[in-house]
């Protein structure tokens, strides 16, 4: 990481160190032309937060869009961006947070506004009426904060409320950070695990690969799968949404499916949803089973606007090997593991449980770059070509993210018209004219029923007990055969045919009974016919089985 910082510092060296701290382009409100909209960038006050809402590169983009940017001095320091680099990109550097809030029209942040740990001053209280704030907000969990902001008559857009639609992907800050988070979770787990993750065969013996179990195959989960696989671990992933199976397997992990009485965990907008108690219990049990055989468990299960579900019970932790590691990425929302302690790494029953909520911050440089770009894209979306702040309430993205409009509560947004889960692939438009679909005619079924009745009724009326018994056997065997053969892979259709061919040589039995002639009681011609039948059927039996064997031997992996 140190190297990365250097690299970026080299990429944008302060050209005029002397002018550092002074914005080259003059003040935010240029004399003459229309006053520019100014974007403020605050230094994060939360002690563990090292990210920043803007990078020199993103400042460059904003300036190019015709905006002024005001950056609090030292805002990017912990992420590896120096004031000089911001200034070089065209930002005005001001010494204090209060200066930024006073000057800027739009305030951008990473974390929700909070009280300063030293001065105790709350960021929200400094906003003025009509000022705009863009940051993570978690409005469902932070009701009090939203009220506080409402009192200031601020306009607030929550970066955690970006609707999951294709057009909004470039502003999807959650996905961008979750990706980093998932990767870092594996790194944390590996460092606490303290053993090799990849399997190796050495002259001194064999090292087994670590078993990694990932709960929740969202963006973070998938990133974790990729990272763990890259380190050589064996990875299983669990998710209640069956649609993610393909994504999981494409990343090289085994998918652990879960179904409970027809209930799936797929909620609105492609996110997971809250489920019933019985469902949760069954889910916990399945997870406990998989935890028992895993060395590293990474949980990423979140439900939007709700406390994270408790998926790993304390019992499940007890069942794990000593020295195993759980990384709980849901620690901020209450944790997926019953024993997670927020912002701490604890050892319980020999299992290390990592509950840090700042994993993304530990990769602050790149996480900031990604987050800053989503902010730039959002501002671009709002300002459009007019260069003025113009919220469009008809726009699904802007409406979805809007929490407060001049102090008026706008969240949650009205439900958009039904649009299926976004991550589920949209049905592909047919490349050609649609295939002619013959509507299922009910007649074959009806005719079949009629025929069956027409056949079975006389059997029931006139047939012997024996016949009925044979019919029972026959029909049941048909059902068995029907079910068996549907499972055969098409590649084996020819061997299947030759085997059934051989098996239908069972008629040899009939021939034998005939040829044996009932101890001389039968017709001599009949015995001869029987012998011929045996001859033919034996060809079938021998030929069929042998040729099948010959064929199957050729099939190889």
Q: What are the residue numbers of the active site?
A: 164, 169, 172, 175, 271
Tell me how far, at minimum, the Cβ of 450 lies from another protein, in Å. Answer: 17
- CA dihedral in degrees (301, 306, 307, 309; nearest 10)? -40
- Asked whether position 439 contacts another protein by CB under 8 A, the answer is no
Distance CA 369, CA 80 (A): 11
- Asked whether position 346 contacts another protein by CB under 8 A, the answer is no
Distances (CA, A) of 171 to 66, 231, 390, 448: 20, 30, 17, 58
Tell me how far, at minimum, the Cβ of 446 lies from another protein, in Å. Answer: 16
Of 55-63, 195-203, 367-375, 524-532, the segment contacting another protein by CB under 8 A is 524-532
| Interacting residue with another protein among 48, 342, 387, 550 (CB under 8 A) | 550
Burial of 153 (0-12, 13-18, 19+ CB in 10 A): middle
Task: Specify whether the CB–CB gap between 345 and 335 falls below 8 A.
Answer: no
Torsion angles phi and psi, residue 26, rounded to 5: 85, -170
Of 95-103, 365-373, 391-399, 429-437, the segment contacting another protein by CB under 8 A is 429-437
- Asked whether position 545 contacts another protein by CB under 8 A, the answer is yes
**CA 468 from centre of chain:** 56
Tell me how far, at minimum, the Cβ of 503 lies from another protein, in Å. Answer: 5
Give the full edge-to-edge strand order of the sheet including 408-409.
92-94, 68-72, 38-41, 106-108, 132-135, 155-158, 402-405, 408-409
| Interacting residue with another protein among 196, 282, 391, 527 (CB under 8 A) | 527
Per CB under 8 A, contacts with another protein among 196-235 are: none
Based on CB atoms, which residue is closest to another protein, 346 or 523?
523
- Asked whether position 264 contacts another protein by CB under 8 A, the answer is no
Of 39-47, 329-337, 400-408, 427-435, the segment contacting another protein by CB under 8 A is 427-435
| Interacting residue with another protein among 201, 431, 454, 461 (CB under 8 A) | 431
Give the strand pairing for 155-158 and 211-215. unpaired
Based on CB atoms, which residue is closest to another protein, 314 or 504?
504
Tell me how far, at minimum, the Cβ of 543 lies from another protein, in Å. Answer: 3
- Asked whether position 425 contacts another protein by CB under 8 A, the answer is no
Tell me how far, at minimum, the Cβ of 552 lies from another protein, in Å. Answer: 5
Give the strand pairing for 345-348 and 351-354. antiparallel
Q: Where do the H-state alpha helices sit in 96-156?
A: 97-103, 143-151
Question: Per DSSP, what are the bridge partners of residue 254?
Answer: 236
Based on CB atoms, which residue is closest to another protein, 117 or 430?
430
Distance CA 492, CA 163 (A): 47
Of 42-50, 78-86, 131-139, 527-535, the segment contacting another protein by CB under 8 A is 527-535
Based on CB atoms, which residue is closest to another protein, 302 or 514?
514
Helical axes 364-383 vs 173-193, angle rounded to 10°: 170
Tell me how far, at minimum, the Cβ of 423 lies from another protein, in Å. Answer: 18
Per CB under 8 A, contacts with another protein among 442-461 are: 459
Distance CA 267, CA 472 (A): 47
Counting Cα atoms < 13 Å in the Cβ hemisphere of 126 gives 21
Write the binding mask 105 to 134 for another protein: x where contact by CB under 8 A, - elsewhere.
------------------------------
| Interacting residue with another protein among 47, 205, 436, 442 (CB under 8 A) | 436
Tell me how far, at minimum, the Cβ of 454 lies from another protein, in Å. Answer: 14
Based on CB atoms, which residue is closest to another protein, 203 or 433?
433
Per CB under 8 A, contacts with another protein among 133-192 are: none
Torsion angles phi and psi, residue 110, rounded to 5: -95, -65
Based on CB atoms, which residue is closest to another protein, 204 or 525?
525
* Site residue total, another protein (CB under 8 A): 93
Question: What length does the chain have?
Answer: 557
Per CB under 8 A, contacts with another protein among 494-513 are: 494-513
Distance CA 497, CA 500 (A): 5
């Amino acid at each position: 990481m140190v190297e990365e910082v250097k690299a970026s510092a080299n990429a944008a060296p302060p050209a005029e160190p002397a002018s550092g701290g002074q914005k080259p382009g003059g003040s935010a409100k240029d004399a003459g032309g229309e006053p520019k909209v100014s974007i403020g960038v605050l230094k994060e006050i939360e002690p563990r937060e090292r990210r920043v809402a803007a990078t020199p590169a993103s400042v460059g983009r904003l300036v190019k869009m015709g905006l002024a940017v005001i950056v609090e001095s030292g805002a990017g320091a912990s992420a590896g961006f120096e004031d000089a680099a911001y200034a070089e990109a065209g930002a005005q550097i001001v010494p204090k947070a209060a200066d930024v809030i006073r000057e800027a029209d739009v305030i951008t942040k990473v974390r929700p506004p909070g009280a300063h740990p030293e001065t105790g001053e709350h960021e929200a209280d400094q906003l003025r009426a009509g000022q705009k704030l863009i940051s993570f907000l978690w409005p469902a969990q932070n009701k009090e904060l939203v009220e506080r902001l409402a009192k200031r008559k601020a306009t607030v857009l929550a970066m955690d409320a970006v609707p999951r639609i294709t057009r909004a992907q470039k502003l999807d800050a959650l996905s961008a950070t979750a990706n980093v988070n998932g990767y870092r979770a594996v790194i944390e787990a590996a460092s606490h695990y303290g053993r090799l993750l990849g399997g190796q065969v050495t002259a001194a013996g064999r090292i087994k690969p670590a078993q990694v179990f990932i709960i929740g195959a969202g963006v973070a989960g998938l990133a974790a799968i990729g990272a763990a696989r890259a380190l050589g671990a064996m990875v299983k992933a669990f998710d209640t949404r069956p649609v993610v199976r393909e994504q999981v397997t494409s990343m090289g992990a085994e998918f652990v499916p879960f179904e409970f009485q027809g209930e799936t965990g797929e909620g609105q907008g492609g996110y997971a949803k809250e489920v019933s108690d019985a469902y949760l219990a069954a889910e916990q049990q399945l997870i406990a089973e998989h935890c028992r055989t895993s060395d590293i468990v990474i949980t990423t299960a979140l439900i939007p606007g709700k406390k994270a579900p408790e998926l790993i019970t304390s019992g499940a932790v007890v069942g794990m090997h000593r020295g195993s590691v759980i990384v709980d990425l849901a620690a901020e929302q209450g944790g997926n593991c019953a024993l997670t302690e927020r912002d701490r790494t604890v050892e319980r029953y020999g299992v290390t449980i990592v509950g840090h909520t700042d994993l993304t911050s530990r990769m602050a440089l790149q996480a900031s770059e990604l987050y800053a770009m989503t902010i730039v894209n959002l501002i671009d979306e709002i300002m459009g070509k007019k260069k003025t702040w113009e919220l469009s309430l008809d726009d699904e993205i802007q409406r979805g993210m809007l929490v407060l409009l001049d102090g008026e509560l706008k969240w949650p947004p009205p439900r958009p018209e039904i649009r299926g889960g976004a991550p589920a692939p949209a049905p592909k438009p047919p490349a050609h004219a649609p295939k002619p679909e013959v509507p299922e005619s009910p007649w074959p079924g009806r005719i079949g029923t009629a025929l069956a009745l027409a056949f079975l009724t006389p059997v029931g009326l006139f047939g012997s007990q024996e016949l009925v018994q044979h019919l029972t056997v026959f029909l049941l065997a048909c059902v068995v055969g029907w079910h068996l053969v549907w499972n055969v892979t098409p590649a084996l259709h020819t061997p299947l045919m030759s085997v059934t061919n051989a098996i239908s040589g069972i008629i040899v039995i009939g021939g034998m009974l005939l040829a044996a002639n009932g101890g001389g009681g039968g017709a001599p011609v009949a015995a001869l016919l029987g012998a011929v039948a045996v001859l033919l059927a034996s060809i079938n039996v021998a030929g069929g089985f042998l040729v099948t064997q010959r064929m199957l031997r050729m099939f190889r992996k």
